[in-house]
């Protein structure tokens, strides 16, 4: 599986969640790049993308994902990866003091809200998904589904996808958020975000957890 040619940026944000870590991010096709960024520029890009995620997605009083997570979940890191001609060309990183969740309910760390990324291309290669932590999300007891209306939260994610932080790169390029298919070596511009009330499971995170206690019952 390969990365398409051109200038493509991968942004990954995340932080601690229980005894593990969570992460999510986006792919962007850049237009107007004028060379290879320096390590300093890549670190500056990571700092800028982390700051915009914190301000647009994590912290807002309305639509902020921080309010859907408890104190065991925090935002703290960002990594950026630049691919040119299908190959990794540069990378950078940034970190902040962990910005912990505000909610009080406690859900397992591997429970997540699955956000579907939609494009104008039909089929599996034209769809993507990102997993957002929801460890403090309120559930409806009768249905065991998410109680919150995530419309403002999706709007917050959309604002981050559309933000113009790519100007930190050489040439101040413009960027377009895309679904990237490594199987078909294609990119498709994201046109909409969708999420339902059924909590999902990020299986990779679940597999990393180690039980804090194990009990045995004796059968005679």
Q: Which residue, among 179, 52, 23, 26, has the nearest Cα to 112 in the 3D structure?
A: 23
Report phi then psi at 36, rounded to 5. -95, 130
Distance CA 82, CA 52 (A): 19
Distance CA 90, CA 36 (A): 8
pLDDT at 124: 84
* Buried-exposed string 102-139: b where 16+ CB fall within 10 A, e elsewhere: bbeeebebbbbbbbebebebeeebbbbebbbbbbbbeb
Query: Max Cα separation, the chain?
Result: 74
Contact between 190 and 8 under an 8 Å Cβ cutoff? The reply is no
Region of 35 (left: φ > 0; alpha: ψ -120 to 50; beta: rest) is: left
Report phi then psi at 137, rounded to 5. -75, 140
Per-residue model confidence as pLDDT tens digits over 89-140: 999 999 999 999 999 999 999 899 999 999 999 888 889 999 999 999 999 9
Average pLDDT over residues 149-154: 94
Choose the weakest-confidence range: 30-39, 70-79, 123-132, 151-160.
123-132
Tokens representing 140 are: 């409806």
* Angle at alpha carbon of residue 104, lines to 99 and 106, rounded to 5°: 95
Predicted structure pTM score: 0.93
User: 188 pLDDT exceeds 70?
Assistant: yes
- C-alpha distances (whole Å) from 210 to each of 75, 206, 214 are 22, 9, 10
User: 206 pLDDT exceeds 70?
Assistant: no
In the chain, the DSSP E strands lie at 7-17, 20-31, 74-84, 87-100, 111-119, 127-133, 139-140, 145-146, 174-181, 186-194, 200-201
Q: Which residue, among 62, 82, 107, has the nearest Cα to 9 in the 3D structure?
A: 82
Average pLDDT over residues 49-68: 97
Tokens representing 160 are: 């981050």
Distance CA 8, CA 22 (A): 23
Helix (H, G, I), strand (E, B) or coil at 167: helix
Report phi then psi at 54, rounded to 5. -65, -45
């Amino acid at each position: 599986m390969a990365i398409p040619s051109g200038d493509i940026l991968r942004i990954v944000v995340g932080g601690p969640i229980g005894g593990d870590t969570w992460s999510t991010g986006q792919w962007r096709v850049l237009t107007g790049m004028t060379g290879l960024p320096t390590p300093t520029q890549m670190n500056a890009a990571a700092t800028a993308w982390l700051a915009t995620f914190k301000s647009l997605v994590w912290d807002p009083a309305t639509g902020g994902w921080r309010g859907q997570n408890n104190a065991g979940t925090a935002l703290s890191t960002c990594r950026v990866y630049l691919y040119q001609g299908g190959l990794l060309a540069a990378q950078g990183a940034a970190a902040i003091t962990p910005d912990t969740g505000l909610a009080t309910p406690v859900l397992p760390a591997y429970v997540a809200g699955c956000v579907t990324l939609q494009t104008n291309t039909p089929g599996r290669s034209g769809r993507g998904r990102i997993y957002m932590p929801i460890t403090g999300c309120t559930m409806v007891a009768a249905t065991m589904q998410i109680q919150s209306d995530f419309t403002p939260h999706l709007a917050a994610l959309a604002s981050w996808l559309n933000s113009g932080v790519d100007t930190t790169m050489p040439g101040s390029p413009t960027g377009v958020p895309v679904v990237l298919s490594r199987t078909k070596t294609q990119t498709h511009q994201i046109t909409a975000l969708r999420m339902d009330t059924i909590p999902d499971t990020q299986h990779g995170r679940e597999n990393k957890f180690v039980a804090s206690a194990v009990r045995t019952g004796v059968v005679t």
